[in-house]
Amino acid sequence: MFGLPGGGSSLDLIEAAAEVGIGFTLTKTENAAVMMAGALAETTGVPGVALMTKGPGVANAANGVTYAKLDRAPVIVITDGFTDKQLSYITHQVFDQKALLQPVVKGVTRLESDTPAAEIEAIILLACQAPLGPVHLELTGEVARRLIDPPQVATLASSTSVLDHVALQSLAQQIKLSKKPVLIVGLEARHCAAEVRQLAEHLKCPVLQTYKAKGVISDLDPQVVGIFTGGIQEADCLAHADLMFMVGLDPVEMILQPWLYNKPGVELSNATHDVHYIKPIARVSRDLKLHVLALNEQLSGYVSSWPVEQIALLRQDILTRLAYPPVQFGVAPDRLVQLSAQAYAEQKFRPRMSVDAGAHMFSATAFFPVTQAGDVLISNGLATMAFALPAAIAAALDEPAHPVICFTGDAGLMMCLGELCTAIDSGARIVVVVFNDSALSLIDIKQQSKQLPSRGVRWGRHDFAKAMQALGGQGFEATTEAQYYEALTQALKLQGPSLIDVQIDPSGYSQQLKAMRG
Ligand SMILES: Cc1ncc(C[n+]2csc(CCOP(=O)(O)OP(=O)(O)O)c2C)c(N)n1
């Protein structure tokens, strides 16, 4: 459980959780608490819990809850509330909390019925139905302290899976007819990675994965060509294909631009979405894992006709195009990320990363290979800043043996700087790597491309290494590749958190953006 308690139901909940062995991590903002609960849910598949006070606590959590909605994270958001009696005389901190969160939660409940255990069960099930997302539990102190008969043993009734034979057969048929399919893997596939890996092995075709799906099929696998965003970077690969085969892809994962590809598609997913870029010629929209398993059987004997060398060339070509141009000072973002991957390999750590919103994200997602599903934490659906640090902390606390590298811009870090204290207090094994370019670079390059004067997007240099040291953590500074590698090598040996402030020359970002999105 993550959160920032108030005086109502929060304290009772923390106490009750402790009694059954559920730990509580105190965060510095409610926004970060929901992000941490969501990040944990994204990596483990188990719903996360975030708790907070009423009024300002709820209002401050709204961005985090919106992340959980658009990034498909099942989170139980427990807020304090007012009783009807209190509402008859109190106006201080009062607003319609349920209405504030209503557009971004899948449901709300107050545990006021005679069967609160059933209410809890129903709300958790709702969070775990595709598309996964947050639910709101508004709990007054009075209701939290209510004594009830012990509930029957809660059994979360999972819905029974049913194979859609007809639709699956028509989908398999389309694949068998195609010579050069491309497998496009999306976020839902993180929870059936083994089955999707088997599928890729059958098809022997190029694989594109969304940011969140990176690692479903290991980036070290030669079939993995790169990232799928709906941008220009994957266009070459798709130009040579005759079928787009989308597995677990959620349209929320694609960038804000019209669909570029004039190719037929087939789709396997857990949920349908009212707004989508493409109308597949064959589709199954439920029980992804079951259908991937069944499809694997149907496809035995089928192999695509992609030459291995062509796949390798496509992969190399994307990396070449995304390379950062030469820098005038500091460290180039792509080199920074490549050196990070090298240090992980050298120390034999499983590569795990979180990344924030901003221009630094281009290199972080392209040049840091991961090998397991869930090892890239990124807010993509909402694409909110101030996500990478809380997400890294949650993932590190869950699996302390493998440090998490947190790639963040300086603005994104400043938006959640207090969470460095959470990392220090909780001993989270993370390395925060600050791409320090003293600018909102992603916005700066848009301003430049409009040929506007530089206004409102830059600031003086802040020293985040010293800030980390002042807070009681380990802070390093790097202005060269050698300094960075040395600092990271030391940082990865620590059992707790550290931060490396790296000087970045942002002049190459616009070229990289063009290579990615067109
Ligand atoms: C909460 C939030 N506010 C604003 C934005 C819009 N936005 C996206 S990236 C960005 C700039 C980020 O700057 P920084 O963290 O320094 O990263 P850089 O682009 O410099 O790599 C902004 C303002 C956002 N995505 N999320």
Catalogue the E-assigned strands of 72-228. 75-80, 108-109, 135-139, 181-185, 207-209, 224-227
Say how many Å lie between the CA of residue 165 and the centre of ligand 1.
45
Say how many Å lie between the CA of residue 358 and the centre of ligand 1.
5
Say how many Å lie between the CA of residue 413 and the centre of ligand 1.
10
Q: Express as a percent the part of the chain with pLDDT over 90.
A: 90
pLDDT (average), residues 332-347 = 98
Closest ligand 1 atom, CA of 408? 15
Say how many Å lie between the CA of residue 357 and the centre of ligand 1.
5
**Site to substitute for ligand 1 among 63, 385, 406, 505, most atoms within 8 A of C-beta:** 385
Q: For 88-131, what is each residue's pLDDT tens digit?
A: 999 999 999 999 999 999 999 999 998 999 999 999 999 999 99
Give the separation between CA 278 and CA 236, rounded to whole angstroms: 19
Q: For 362-379, what is each residue's pLDDT tens digit?
A: 999 999 999 999 999 999
Q: For 312-338, what is each residue's pLDDT tens digit?
A: 999 999 999 999 999 999 999 999 999
Give the separation between CA 39 and CA 343, rounded to whole angstroms: 24
Task: State the DSSP H helix or E strand holding residue 201, giving kind and residue range, or none if neither.
Answer: helix 193-203
Say how many Å lie between the CA of residue 457 and the centre of ligand 1.
10
Q: Where are the alpha helices (DSSP H) in 428-480?
A: 441-449, 464-471
The two structure tokens encoding residue 426:
């909780």
Give the separation between CA 458 and CA 158, rounded to whole angstroms: 51
Residue 150 has pLDDT above 80, yes or no: no
Residue 155 has pLDDT above 70, yes or no: no
Secondary-structure breakdown of the chain: helix, strand, coil percentages, each rounded to the nearest 5:
45, 15, 40
Indicate the range of 74-83, 271-280, 284-293, 447-456 predicted with least confidence. 271-280
Catalogue the E-assigned strands of 203-318. 207-209, 224-227, 243-247, 265-268, 282-284
Residues 75-92: b if buried by 16+ CB within 10 A, e if exposed = bbbbbbbbeeeeeeeeee
Say how many Å lie between the CA of residue 441 and the centre of ligand 1.
8
Say how many Å lie between the CA of residue 414 and the centre of ligand 1.
11
Closest ligand 1 atom, CA of 358? 19
Please tell me what DSSP assigns to residue 335: H
DSSP-assigned letters across all residues of 102-135: GGG-S-EE-S-SS-HHHHHHHHHHHHTSSSP--E
Closest ligand 1 atom, CA of 412? 15
DSSP reduced 3-state for 424 = helix
pLDDT at 157: 62
Give the separation between CA 433 and CA 424, rounded to whole angstroms: 15
Ligand 1 neighbours (beta carbon < 6 A)? 356-360, 383-385, 409-412, 435, 437, 439-443
Quick one: how far is CA 125 from the chain centroid?
21
The two structure tokens encoding residue 222:
């030669």
Question: Contact at 8 Å (CB) between 174 and 242?
Answer: no
Quick one: how far is CA 485 from the chain centroid?
26
How many alpha carbons lie under 13 Å from residue 414 in its C-beta half-sphere? 13
Give the separation between CA 411 and CA 435, rounded to whole angstroms: 9
Residue 483 has pLDDT above 90, yes or no: yes
Nearest CA to ligand 1 atom 3: 385
Say how many Å lie between the CA of residue 241 and the centre of ligand 1.
35
Closest ligand 1 atom, CA of 440? 13
The two structure tokens encoding residue 199:
């599928």
The two structure tokens encoding residue 442:
């992603």
pLDDT at 291: 97
Q: Bigger pLDDT: 166 or 159?
A: 166
Q: Exposed, middle or buried by CB within 10 Å (0-12, 13-18, 19+), for 279? A: exposed
Q: For 180-230, what is each residue's pLDDT tens digit?
A: 999 999 999 999 999 999 999 999 999 999 999 999 999 999 999 999 999
Q: For 160-172, what is each residue's pLDDT tens digit?
A: 778 999 999 999 9
Say how many Å lie between the CA of residue 448 and the centre of ligand 1.
16
**Site to substitute for ligand 1 among 67, 256, 442, 454, most atoms within 8 A of C-beta:** 442
Nearest CA to ligand 1 atom 11: 440
Nearest CA to ligand 1 atom 20: 441
Closest ligand 1 atom, CA of 437? 20
**Site to substitute for ligand 1 among 361, 414, 440, most atoms within 8 A of C-beta:** 440
Residue 159 has pLDDT above 70, yes or no: no
